[in-house]
Amino acid sequence: MTQMDTEITAAMAPDKDWWRGAVIYQIYPRSFQDSTGNGIGDLIGITQRIPYIASLGVDAIWISPFFTSPMKDFGYDVSNYCDVDPMFGTLDDFDALVAAAHDKGVKVMIDLVLSHTSDQHPWFRESRKDRDNAKADWYVWADPKPDGTPPNNWLSIFGGSGWQWDARREQYYLHNFLTSQPDLNFHSAQVQDALLDATRFWLERGVDGFRLDTINFYFADKMLRDNPALPPERRNDTIAPSVNPYNHQEHLFSKNQPENLAFLARFRALLDQYPAATCVGEVGDAQRGLELLGTYTAGETGVHMCYAFEFLSPDRLSAQGVVETMTRLEAAAPDGWACWAFSNHDVVRHATRWNLSPQALCGYTSMMGALRGSLCLYQGEELGLPEADVAFDDLQDPYGIEFWPEFKGRDGCRTPMVWELSNHNGGFSTGKAWLPVGQAHLTRSVAAQESDPCAPLHHYRRVLAFRRAHPALVKGTQTQTQAQGDVLQFQRSHEGQTIFCAFNMSDRPAVLQMPAGEWRAIGTELGGATADALGGVHLDQWQPCFALKR
């Protein structure tokens, strides 16, 4: 092979590092686009909207679960890992979706829920028959205490004990979520093998990667030791609402076990057999999230990146808050890679959660687009959608029904996508939608914003195009991160390109001084400020400043 042949082969090889700095668009399939008129989104609907997704400038989509499921937790209770629920379509529909996305240069990631299954899964149906069957140890079973109570004090995120009594085996089984979501026993090599086989099934169908749900919940302590109490001053409601007693424990033994690293190494080894497969792990922990991110992404045997919760907090993100998070991340994961998000299918949309004005929404978007790490955008976020107000009688989420009205659940962020004003469902469906479309959303539809150059949709597109055009913002280092009052600033550098980034994260004007050196203003298409002759920069409310080092 000649040197030219070698260079051509290298140029044609897939970029194994494509995930580093990638922008991933999360799709909640029930609510994205209905192609049949039954009021529930589906895979064909997603395929129909691929041109829109590609127009945003994202690198990949992440599709929340569409596997066969009784839908007690809307797909996060899987009864068959290797098939599509008829509600969403067929395997052929999925193959067509992957082909359409790839044709537009968009990669496809899917949501793997490995920590637990539905109680309707054939594995659990066999496991619960008796204590001697072939899958008897595939789930976390335990005898009661002598007084008949659960084996320990572990709690469910959805409220109450994490243990459910089963009369067939006269034992309790562990469920970190609904009672209909029994936890798999990862201490069993057979369980691990079966889950890796399911992963390979989707890799063979052409998926480019996975979002791993509740990655730190895979293993439970073999000795089933009690979790200690968590002092009130250490509690926060990032993972669970304050009204949930789950916040009263430090979950040392019910999750976050060291054995997880060996399984993740097996998972990574499987991915490495494919040209450019990747994964992002969701770390669900309010106290140790960044520490676990560092542990799980270290070296070449962990996951590529982890989904961090720090920016999903109920408290509005400040300049100092960003500095503290990035400082903690650098200490916990100097070589790790984070995946940042402001909204997703489990939290109140950030436009409402942080009570953002249009200027503030754009300001946060500009800032997020400059951060070191990969980014996750949640469907409708690019439209500036607020949280929808869903009446109790319309609720579908069992979590919200359990804790209403102090916690209204997750339905408000899961209402259907609004495409146009052609019907009462905003173009999502011709039938009655499974959740009502937020009335405040209709005027913010894609069609309405396409014709308005000042709309959030266009700002998102400009931010993503700006990020993609500057390698330092995609894959570069981040240094000199600091806050001066409400102004956040840092520098991103990659292969000789250095960009100074500053953001006024307040409703008040601010002034900053450019760092030493020669700089050229960029990012004016994002409303970026420029320095005066003396290097001073006057920032209006929520205004950014970008400059390229000469």
Please tell me which residue in 93, 213, 387, 397 is annotated as part of the active site: 213
213: closest CA among 76, 26, 117? 76
E-assigned strand segments in 299-402 = 305-307, 338-341, 374-378
Q: How many CB atoms lie within 10 A of CB 186?
A: 22
Rg (CA), the chain: 24
The 10 Å CB-count burial string (b at 16+, else e) for 419-458 is beeeeebbbbbeeebbbbbbeebbebbbebbeeeeebbbe
- The beta strand positions in 69-224, using DSSP E, are 80-84, 107-112, 141-142, 163-166, 171-174, 209-212
* Euclidean distance between CA atoms 99 and 337, whole angstroms: 28
Eight-class DSSP state of 333: -
233's tokens: 């001053």
Mark whether 213 is an active-site residue: yes
Question: 363-383 b/e with 16+ CB inside 10 Å = b?
Answer: bbbbbbbbbbbbbbbbbbbbb
Q: What residues contact 136, with CB distance under 8 A and at least 6 apart?
A: 127, 130
Q: How distant, in Å, are the alpha carbons of 41, 43, 68, 304, 386 from that of 89? A: 10, 6, 10, 30, 30
How far apart are alpha carbons 81 and 110 in whole angstroms? 12
If phi > 0 it is left, if psi is from -120 to 50 it is alpha, else beta; for residue 389 that is beta
Name every residue whose Cβ is closer than 8 Å to that of residue 442 and which is 6 or more positions away in sequence. 418, 421, 426
- Check 183, 282, 346, 387 and give the catalytic one: 282
The phi, psi pair for 295, rounded to 5°, reads -65, -45
Backbone angles phi, psi at 81, to 5 degrees: -70, -15
Which residues does 370 contact at the CB level (< 8 Å), separation at least 6? Answer: 467, 473, 490, 492, 499, 501, 503, 544, 546
The answer to whether the CB of 194 falls within 8 A of the CB of 94 is no
Q: Please give the positions annotated as active site.
A: 213, 282
